[in-house]
């Protein structure tokens, strides 16, 4: 049963954990297990993903506009950047096609999610020993970040955490690492929305008209919270305290592994 409370809770949770490196998928699994809060259908998932997608597009609107102009004119790094984004998206797409059902089976195992959250925490700690250089982004770094993104299909492994950690270990400057990681999320989130819409079309289910204003509110909340989460992520990463998120992941993961 869709309610305003359920939508607001899930919208805030989605907006926060989609970009802060603590795994949105892992938190949704644990949230359902701890609070007995069931996700009320694919339609809401699509709407909330649309909200977080909008937050990225708004936050990086100038960068996206500049890259679009460069892509169309053939000048600057627009076309090269587009190739890097496509390259970075391939590993996750290939892994989902090859082992999507096995990955999805983990969503019913909160204890396994706890272990993966602890692994995510250790990954975030690795940023503490990352290179302090300011290396430019190249195709091999984009591919490495794409492989990290593929690992984040597992519930408990954060997409932003895995990709930014990889970039920092390769010596990519913090703001540039965050920028490319979050722009990578555009095709990733759009792809997830497409799969959900296909599944929803196959189910043939619909929602009453009175629910759509609530869904619109959920999208707005997810977009607003997502924008704030992106801003916080960039500040924390630039301050060198990104690894602190690892403490939280280790703690929450240990609780899930021990008691779920």
For the segment 65-119, what is each residue's pLDDT rounded down to a tens digit? 999 999 999 888 889 999 999 999 999 989 988 887 788 787 778 888 899 999 9
Indicate the Cα dihedral angle 104, 110, 111, 114, nearest 10°: 90
Q: pLDDT value at position 7?
A: 81
Q: pLDDT value at position 131?
A: 60
Q: What's the whole-number mean pLDDT along residues 33-53?
A: 73
The secondary structure of 81-107 as a DSSP string is HHHHHHHHHHHHHHHHHHHHHHHHHGG
Q: pLDDT value at position 112?
A: 87
Structural domain boundaries enclosing 72: 4-259
| Residue 146 pLDDT > 80 | yes
Stronger pLDDT, 169 or 108, i.e. the higher one: 169
Q: pLDDT value at position 145?
A: 97
Cβ proximity of 94 and 233 under 8 Å: no
Side-chain-side CA neighbours of residue 227 (13 Å): 13
Q: How confident is the model at residue 144 (pLDDT cuts 50, 70, 90)?
A: very high
Query: What is the rounded CA–CA span in Å between residue 52 and residue 186?
Result: 9
* Environment class of 257 (CB within 10 Å of its CB; exposed 0-12, middle 13-18, buried 19+): middle
Q: pLDDT value at position 74?
A: 83
The residues facing 135 across adjacent strands are 172
| Residue 17 pLDDT > 70 | yes
Q: pLDDT value at position 105?
A: 80
% of the chain residues with pLDDT over 90: 46
What single DSSP character describes residue 136? P
For the segment 199-240, what is each residue's pLDDT rounded down to a tens digit? 777 766 555 666 778 888 989 999 999 999 999 999 998 888
Q: pLDDT value at position 224?
A: 96
| Residue 9 pLDDT > 90 | no
3-state helix, strand, coil in the chain (%, to 5): 80, 0, 20
| Selection from 166, 11, 9 nearest residue 88 by Cα | 166
| Residue 40 pLDDT > 80 | no
Q: pLDDT value at position 212?
A: 77
Query: What is the rounded CA–CA span in Å between residue 209 and residue 217?
Result: 14
| Selection from 186, 180, 230 nearest residue 80 by Cα | 180
How many distinct structural domains can be found in the chain? 1
Q: Which residues does 202 contact at the CB level (< 8 Å), separation at least 6?
A: none
Query: What is the rounded CA–CA span in Å between residue 32 and residue 25?
Result: 11
Rg of the chain over CA atoms, in angstroms? 18
| Residue 198 pLDDT > 60 | yes
For the segment 18-37, what is each residue's pLDDT rounded down to a tens digit? 899 998 888 877 876 776 65
Count of helices and strands (H, E) across the chain: 11, 0
Q: pLDDT value at position 207?
A: 59
Query: What is the rounded CA–CA span in Å between residue 100 and residue 247?
Result: 29
């Amino acid at each position: 049963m869709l309610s305003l409370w359920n939508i607001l809770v899930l919208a805030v949770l989605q907006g926060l954990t989609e970009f802060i490196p603590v795994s949105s998928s892992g938190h949704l699994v644990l949230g359902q297990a701890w609070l007995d809060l069931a996700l009320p259908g694919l339609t809401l998932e699509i709407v909330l993903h649309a909200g977080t997608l909008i937050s990225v597009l708004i936050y990086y609107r100038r960068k996206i506009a500049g890259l679009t102009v460069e892509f169309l004119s053939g000048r600057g790094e627009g076309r090269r950047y587009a190739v890097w984004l496509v390259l970075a998206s391939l590993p996750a797409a290939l892994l989902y096609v090859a082992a999507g059902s096995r990955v999805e089976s983990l969503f019913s195992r909160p204890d396994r999610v706890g272990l993966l959250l602890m692994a995510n925490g250790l990954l975030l700690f690795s940023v503490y020993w990352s290179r302090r250089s300011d290396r430019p982004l190249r195709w091999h770094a984009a591919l490495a970040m794409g492989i990290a993104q593929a690992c984040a299909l597992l519930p408990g492994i954060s997409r932003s955490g895995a990709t930014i950690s990889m970039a920092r270990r390769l010596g990519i400057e913090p703001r540039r690492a965050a920028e490319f990681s979050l722009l990578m999320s555009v095709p990733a989130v759009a792809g997830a929305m497409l799969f959900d819409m296909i599944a929803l079309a196959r189910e043939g289910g619909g929602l009453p008209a009175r629910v759509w204003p609530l869904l619109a509110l959920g999208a707005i909340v997810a977009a607003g919270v997502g924008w704030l989460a992106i801003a916080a992520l960039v500040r924390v990463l630039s301050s060198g305290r990104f690894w602190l998120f690892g403490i939280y992941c280790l703690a929450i993961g240990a609780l899930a592994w021990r008691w779920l």
